[in-house]
Amino acid sequence: MPTVKIPPVLRAQTGGEAQLETPGSTVGDVLRALADAHPGTRPQLFADGGELNRYVNVYLNDEDVRVLDGLDTTVSDSDTVVILPAMAGGRDL
Amino acid sequence: MATAAEPIDEIKRRIDLITNTTARDEVQAGAKLIDVREPHEWDEAHLEGAVHVPQGELLDRLSEVAPDRSERIVLYCRTDNRSSRAADTLQNLGYESVSVMQGGIVAWQEDGLPIVAAQGLTPEQRMRYSRHTLLPEVGVDGQVKLLNSRVLLIGAGGLGAPSAFYLAAAGVGTIGIVDDDVVDESNLQRQVIHTTDRVGMPKTASAKASIEALNPDVEVIEHRTRLNAENILEIISEYDILVDGADNFPTRYLLNDASVRLRKPVVSASILAFDGQISTFVPYEGPCYRCLYPVPPPPEMAPSCGAAGVLGVMAGVMGLLQANEVIKLAAGIGEPLVGRLLLYDSLGTRFTELKVNRDPDCPICGEGAPEIPESEMGKFPDYEAFCAGEPVVRA
């Protein structure tokens, strides 16, 4: 199964897991399977229409799926899907 | 065969000594000129067109500097003793056409011939930065570039504190710091440029005190303010390289838009808990921050370090990766993180590199993107609502 890397802000919704094996043959399948298994991630990954939220970047291995086929990008079992939201932490408030 | 004990006069009988004007003409005609003196002597002055190989390194570097044993070679040193010993060694190795410039660079200068003079480092600086100048990639030229560089740090916090400290040690000549906060006890777990007895002091002043104690070569410019659309262009226009360690998205978008406008590179990092991200945005050469993140996440997906915590060492790792990027940009060496995003997972000790592409439709750096009015810089969809959700917005 493809591996999904979970960013820190979503780990509360995955029981603290930073990496999950998740089934699927496309990036969209994998992310929907993740949302099914961990429903708390769904509103953070997907907008109401089922498309990815614009503030979530998704990579297949090291490449942005926006320059591949987006959610339709084909995934194999040896691939890693990286979910990456922007972070702003630096200097404290 | 010469030995170290053999008198130099004996050796010189076997050497072809030529006058400095002959040497000059030979070099102009294509002979290879090698300076065999020590690095500090080379730094003070040397002959134009010379290759520098200290006598002690000559044997190890022959295949690099003089692979062809039939090549015409002229050696020089301060007078002509070390170069004669070196020439003798080369002749014994089968080099066919080796000569020594009689009287060395001393006679050369006495005769009023031109030299490449000292390259801007004082004797104190040559000592202080010797571990840099020993690196061929940096050298005296690179150190002079660092001393002449002007770097602005956005924030003297978790990222800015270690970054500023090392950039100061490295001899970055001018360091500006934007921060309007004061040192708090909870900062000291990671903001190593501040000290316990400076709790309550403005962070810019505390950073300045630490930097001045570390390296008097550095001029620190305090910007005790928050960046906003009114002041940002004026502030960043004074600097060559910008270092983003801001803790909030409005400042990051604002800095991006202004830096693209003024074509200033930004070394951008962020940290949270045990994770860090870093990339270098060079306008129009690679993507900008908006190409990577077209819109910021909602506040519930973007907790601050104050709310979520951060491993202090993590801030140091990421701040120093930023400093490393700055040094490379300033000295013009290496391969900056342009078009690449590096993720660091400190719990697993894993680095992951992702590609970042320029977005042809980027509203700021995309093809044909119109220049936005200053009042629109840093804005993004739902900006007002986003900022309303943030209790405090600071640079």
| Structure tokens that stand for B200 in this block | 């309550």
Q: What pLDDT score does B393 carry?
A: 33
Q: In Å, what is the CA distance from A62 to each residue of A67, B298, B353?
A: 11, 25, 6
Cβ pair A88:B347 closer than 8 A? no
Q: What pLDDT score does B39 carry?
A: 84
Q: What pLDDT score does B41 carry?
A: 84
Greatest extent of chain A over all pairs of C-alpha atoms, in Å: 43
Q: What pLDDT score does B119 carry?
A: 63
Q: What pLDDT score does A9 carry?
A: 84
What are the pLDDT digits (tens) for B85-110?
999 999 999 999 999 999 999 999 89
Contact yes or no for B120/B62 (Cβ under 8 A): no
For residue A15, pLDDT beyond 90 = yes
CB contacts < 8 A (A, B): 127
Question: What is the predicted ipTM?
Answer: 0.91
Pairing, β B174-178 against β B219-223 = parallel
Cβ pair B352:A5 closer than 8 A? yes
Cβ pair B277:A87 closer than 8 A? yes
Q: Is A89 on the interface with B (CB under 8 A)?
A: yes
Measure CB to CB from residue B353 to each of A62, A86, A88 and give the nearest one: A62
Q: Is B270 on the interface with A (CB under 8 A)?
A: yes
Distance separating alpha carbons of residues B264 and B141, to the nearest angstrom: 22
Q: What pLDDT score does B118 carry?
A: 61
Q: Is A16 on the interface with B (CB under 8 A)?
A: no
Q: Is A88 on the interface with B (CB under 8 A)?
A: yes
Environment class of residue B309 by beta-carbon count within 10 Å: exposed (0-12), middle (13-18) or buried (19+)? middle
Measure CB to CB from residue B352 to each of A54, A67, A82 and give the nearest one: A82
Q: Is A7 on the interface with B (CB under 8 A)?
A: yes
Count of residues making up chain A: 93
Identify residue A11 by its one-letter amino acid code: R
Contact list, A9 vs chain B (CB under 8 Å): 272, 297, 301-303
- Residue A53 is classified by DSSP as P
Count of CB atoms situated within 10 Å of the CB of B115: 14
State which residue of chain B sits closest to A60, comparing Cα positions: B354
Secondary structure (H, E, C), chain B: CCCCCCCHHHHHHCCEEECHHHHHHHHHCCCEEEECCCHHHHHHEECCCCEECCHHHHHHHHHHHCCCCCCEEEEECCCCHHHHHHHHHHHHCCCCEEEEECCHHHHHHHCCCCCEECCCCCHHHHHHCHHHHCCCCCHHHHHHHHHHCEEEEECCCCCHHHHHHHHHHCCCCEEEEECCCECCHHHCCCCCCCCHHHCCCEHHHHHHHHHHHHCCCCEEEEECCCCCCCCHHHHHCCCCEEEECCCCHHHHHHHHHHHHHHCCCEEEEEEEECEEEEEEECECCECCHHHHCCCCCCHHHCCCHHHHCECHHHHHHHHHHHHHHHHHHHHCCCCCCECEEEEEECCCCEEEEEECCCCCCCCCCCCCCCCCCHHHCCCCCCHHHHHHCCCCCCC
State which residue of chain B sits closest to A13, comparing Cα positions: B301
Q: Would you give per-residue pLDDT tens digits along chain B (395 residues)?
A: 555 578 899 999 999 999 999 999 999 999 999 999 998 788 778 998 899 999 999 999 998 899 999 999 999 999 999 999 999 999 999 999 999 999 999 999 899 888 877 667 888 998 999 999 999 999 988 999 999 999 999 999 999 999 999 999 999 999 999 999 999 999 999 999 999 999 999 999 999 999 999 999 999 999 999 999 999 999 999 999 999 998 888 899 999 999 999 999 999 999 988 999 999 999 999 999 999 999 888 877 776 666 678 899 999 999 999 999 999 999 999 999 999 999 999 998 999 999 999 999 999 999 888 877 777 787 776 665 555 544 333 33
Cβ pair A89:B274 closer than 8 A? no
Q: What pLDDT score does B4 carry?
A: 58
